[in-house]
Amino acid sequence: MLEEATIEHDLYLFHQGNLRYSYQLLGAHPDIKEGKEGYRFMLWAPNAQGVNIVGDFNNWDGREHPMEKLTENGIWYGFIPALTEGTIYKYEILTPHGHLRLKADPYGFSSELRPNTASVTYPLNKYSWNDEQWMKRREKLNIYETPVSIYELHLGSWKNIELEVYYTYREYADMVIPHVKELGYSHIELLPITEHPFDRSWGYQTTGYFAATSRYGTPDDFRYFVDQCHQNGIGVILDWVPAHFCKDEHGLRRFDGEALYEYQDTLKADKPQWGTLTFDFGRKEVQSFLISNAIFWLKEFHLDGLRVDAVASMLYLDFGKEEGQWELNEYGGRENLEAVEFVKKMNEAIFEEDPHVLMMAEESTSWPLVSAPTYIGGLGFNYKWNMGWMNDMLEYIEMDPIHRKHHHHLITFSLFYAFSENFVLPISHDEVVHGKKSLLNKMPGDYWQKFANLRAFLAFMYAHPGKKLLMMGTEFGQFDEWKDLEDLDWELLEYDSHASTLAYFKQLQQLYNDMPALWELDHEEEGFFWIDANNYEQSIVSFARNSRKSNDQLIVVCNFTPEVYHNYRVGVPEEGTYQEIFTSDATHFGGSGQTNALDLHSISEPWQSQGQHIQMTIPPLAVSFLKRTSSPKEEK
């Protein structure tokens, strides 16, 4: 039972925008009043003329359970004895205009299965976690200097029973986790599992911010999924959508008859591109709502991080809008100043609560210092998606190789800014849907060349500075683009090319996990240098990746044409013997077998600004990884 003094203090913080655990106060909670067990309800609805709690328990008759208005700031309270877990309910709100509206609980912890829209009572604290070892390990981990590779996952289309009939979170845990673990990924990133009315919004248009979607089971079923991931050494990141919400009647839109969660100014509120509404980031109670929601998922579900969707749409008033659909800010700029301050405040709060989590921004512009701390002027995230690298590389790799020499800058330009942020290299669901084709099917050439291009692209991605994210299905060469209502084409694994691609990806991932040079200095200039960035005529680049130990250095040579070159000279920084430890052109991966099986001895003649060079075979549409295995002193 909450003490009156506690409620008063928490409400003060709530209205100041500083109540980080507002979900413990607002919403529906098991409680005891006058010796009777039941559920306590609290709601923020300052414009409402009256609020009733309705559900099956009172035949949806609001007169049975009216709420009491506790404060002038619009906090409403009610207690209903004998209510139990699983009770369906809504709020019946009398608006200032005399209309009755039925609304789901903004702080509801569970929801009915769509198309039904009511909230469902559900306690927060009945699940027993078994991931203590993982949580302790996370506290000691330096995430910037460890391998991070993320499997982007949409549960309903990974595998389903039939159209719009899904497995449960627990069943998905039993199927997904062994697959992801075998692939060697460090994390799973889930497309939003916050409650949403329309399957094909994939969760990005939310109505229930505190409810794990009932499509796949209960909130504790989802906790089980996270728990099992952790017990198997896999972190879990959730796509989170604080930028906007959908307009469905039972949701947040004009919640108490007036604009409450959204801006009152319709130019600021409307997102015409998506048909949604923007949160009022300057309103203190909305700040408490959103910050509490982020902390809710991190604390109550032990999530390891949030990927914050559509950050650019928060930062810019004109994002996705035509002339006349937006207005300049008070200083004559196009930045949403309230959103900028909110993002900083949000990240400060989250890292004060837990400094070991990931806050990843999907930010598609050149806004500076996105992944820098707020005390030096940054937005306070610790990672940013590298959308520039993604766009350049996809444009490049989709070209016929004969044209690539004219666009060589697309594979080199990213290194001009690679260390300006802590970057994640993303090939996400957005790039393999809506007619954009799958990653494999983007590739030019015949059937063999498509797979060779895919292998080369993935190897270049894994060798490039930055953490990695790939959409599910890439691991075996999904040929069709992502079909959000159907499951992945697992039957393709019956064909050699796709089975070989899966084997290739596993070994590439293993190479990445085993080689500190590929991740230890991801965000430091010392971790990378070009050997030759300028051979545009042959579309060949070579570079080195370093770790803190000099003998971990890797030389990477990439050929983006189908030509083979023998006795090709590559500069190397150190004298000694080099071995090709991995190549995407190996025959067991489906390649042509133009490998360097013998030792490559350095020649003491400068080349490509290096003191030594080797002569090697450059395979077609392939990437080779070389490592110095001995020095002249060791050879003697």
| 358-361 and 383-385 strand pairing | parallel
147-518 classified as CATH 3.40.50.970: no
Q: State both tokens at 156.
A: 């309903």
Residue 1 has pLDDT above 90, yes or no: no
Pairing of strands 467-471, 565-572: unpaired
| Topology, domain 525-635 | Immunoglobulin-like (2.60.40)
pLDDT of residue 551: 87
Question: At 632, is the pLDDT very low, low, confident or very high (cuts 50, 70, 90)?
Answer: low
Rounded mean pLDDT of 576-587? 98
From the list 10, 92, 309, 392, the catalytic residue is: 309
Residue 5, pLDDT > 90, answer no
Q: Is the pTM of this model over 0.85?
A: yes
Dihedral sign, CA of 360, 363, 366, 370? negative
d(CA 512, CA 508): 6
Q: Determine contact, residues 356/307, Cβ cutoff 8 Å.
A: no
The one catalytic residue among 92, 338, 362, 585 = 362
Question: Is residue 625 within 8 Å of 583, Cβ to Cβ?
Answer: yes
Is 325 exposed, middle or buried, given 0-12, 13-18 or 19+ CB atoms closer than 10 A? middle
Q: How far apart are CA 313 and CA 307, in angstroms?
A: 15
For the stretch 119-134, pLDDT in tens is 999 999 999 999 999 9
- Predicted local confidence at residue 545, as pLDDT: 98
pLDDT band with cut points at 50, 70 and 90 for residue 89:
very high
Cα→Cα distances 443→21, 393, 440, 592, Å: 48, 12, 6, 17
- 312 has a pLDDT exceeding 70: yes
CB atoms inside a 10 Å sphere around CB 49:
15
Indicate whether 635 pLDDT > 60: no
Q: Tell me if residue 120 falls in helix, strand or coil.
A: strand
pLDDT over 90 (residue 3) = no
> Which of 291, 265, 264, 263 is CA-nearest to residue 279?
263
CATH class for domain 4-120?
A: mainly beta
pLDDT tens string 544-560: 999 999 889 999 999 99
Q: CB–CB of 337/349 below 8 Å? A: no
Q: For residue 636, give every residue at least 6 positions away whose Cβ sits within 8 Å of its Cβ, in sequence order, or none.
A: none
Domains 147-518 and 525-635 share a fold: no
pLDDT at residue 550, as a whole number: 83
Q: Would you put residue 481 in left (φ > 0), alpha (ψ -120 to 50) or beta?
A: beta
SS3 readout for 357-372: CEEEECCCCCCCCCCC
The answer to whether 362 is a known catalytic residue is yes
Tens of pLDDT, residue by residue over 280-302, are: 999 999 999 999 999 999 999 99
The structure tokens 């497995």 sit at 167
Closest of 558, 25, 587 to residue 288, by C-alpha: 25
Look at the block and give the residue holding tokens 């579900």.
Answer: 301
Check whether 6 has a pLDDT greater than 90: no
Say yes or no to pLDDT of 537 above 60: yes
333 DSSP 8-state letter: -
Given a contact cutoff of 8 angstroms between Cβ atoms, the answer to whether 309 and 254 are in contact is: no
Q: β-pairing, 554-559 with 208-212?
A: unpaired
pLDDT over threshold 90, residue 179:
yes
**Domain positions in the chain:** 4-120, 147-518, 525-635
Residue 633 has pLDDT above 80, yes or no: no
The mean pLDDT of 330-354, rounded to a whole number, is: 97
How much is the mean pLDDT over the chain? 96
- Per the CB < 8 A criterion, the answer to whether 237 and 469 are in contact is no
Note the pLDDT of residue 634. 62
